[in-house]
Amino acid sequence: MWLYLVPTLAINVVIILIPALLTIALAFFQWDGISAPVFIGLGNFVALWSDGPFWTALENNLIWTAIFLTVPIAMGLLAASLLLIVPRRGSTLFQVVYFLPVIIATAITARVWQGMIYSPVTGVFGYLQKLGLPIVNPLSQTSTALFGVATVDLWHWWGFLCVIFFAALRQVPQEQIEAARIEGASFWQMMRYVLLPGIKPTIMLMMIMTVIWSFLVFDFVYILTQGGPAFSSEVLSTLAYRKAFYDLNVGQAAATALVISLFGLVATFFYIRIQSRESV
């Protein structure tokens, strides 16, 4: 029966496992991608420690995590719980529309926001500016660039959470809801004491995934700001990418990748514990 697993495992080992082990090794070497790697021990990590953009990127990842642990989860929960009130056909329509941003390619979403909304020339922001509103392109300011990018990802993301939470809410046992209703619980009491506790495992899982994904965020930052202006929206994954492919400093890129993985690893531990408890 192992034969059935060979294709999957072979592809996985060649594409993911071996390169991942090489990344761990590379983190201790100086390498430009072409000439022979030179072992430098902890040199890459020492260099990162005194690298300003690295700390900005790490801080931005933490801010990003904080935003995504709260805002989209709250939005998703609110919308999902309200969907319980509307009739079935209505809730399907709302769900489909909320889910549309999820299925649009990130590169396209990024460009639509960049050109049609944020742009001072062709975007809605520029139009409002012309009407006299004191509004500026958030991507061009060091103080707001990260939030400008996060807004785009929020738009792209919250519908997914809403749909997941709604699916989970509908699986809360009917008896519990009936019992609460007989006791005269209002909708909000129902949320607080029956529905939210009922979907706690789903919320937990989504929060863990949020932590993992927050350290992987790449597309929107790379396309919208390239980490700028002045590294103000840089995150670890774009920093690692820049180090590897623009600075040809593959060792430091690998070291940065290890830092990303470290945060992911902690979250992954909890993820596997929850997933295996429920599905194995």
Residue 153 binds another protein (CB under 8 A):
no
Query: Contact with another protein (CB under 8 A): which of 62, 187, 229, 230?
Result: 187
Does position 235 interact with another protein (CB under 8 A)? The reply is: no
Instruction: Return the structure tokens found at 28.
Output: 């201790």
Q: Is 218 in the site for another protein (CB under 8 A)?
A: yes
86 binds another protein (CB under 8 A): yes
Q: Provide the H-helix boundaries in 30-123.
A: 43-49, 52-83, 88-103, 106-112
84 sits near another protein (criterion: CB under 8 A)? yes
Q: Pick the closer one to another protein by CB: 33 or 197.
A: 33
Applying CB under 8 A, does 204 fall inside the site for another protein?
no
**Burial category of 49 from C-beta neighbours within 10 Å (exposed 0-12, middle 13-18, buried 19 and up):** exposed
79 binds another protein (CB under 8 A): yes
Candidates 45, 147, 155, 193; binder of another protein (CB under 8 A) is 155
Spatial separation of the C-alpha atoms in residues 163 and 87, rounded to whole Å: 16
Task: Please report whether residue 5 would count as binding another protein according to CB under 8 A.
Answer: yes
C-alpha distances in Å from residue 16, one per residue of 8, 11, 19, 124, 186: 11, 8, 6, 43, 51
* Minimum CB–partner distance for residue 72 and another protein (Å): 12
CB 124 within 8 A of CB 104: no
Interface stretch with another protein, choices 40-48, 55-63, 136-144, 167-175 (CB under 8 A): 167-175
DSSP strands (E only) in the chain = 29-30, 38-39
The answer to whether 256 contacts another protein (rule: CB under 8 A) is yes
Question: Binding marks (x or -) toward another protein, 26..65, rule CB under 8 A?
Answer: x------x--------------------------------
Cα 96 to Cα 74: distance, rounded to the nearest angstrom: 19
Task: Evaluate whether 87 touches 175 at the Cβ level (below 8 Å).
Answer: no
Residue 40: CB minimum distance to another protein, A: 16
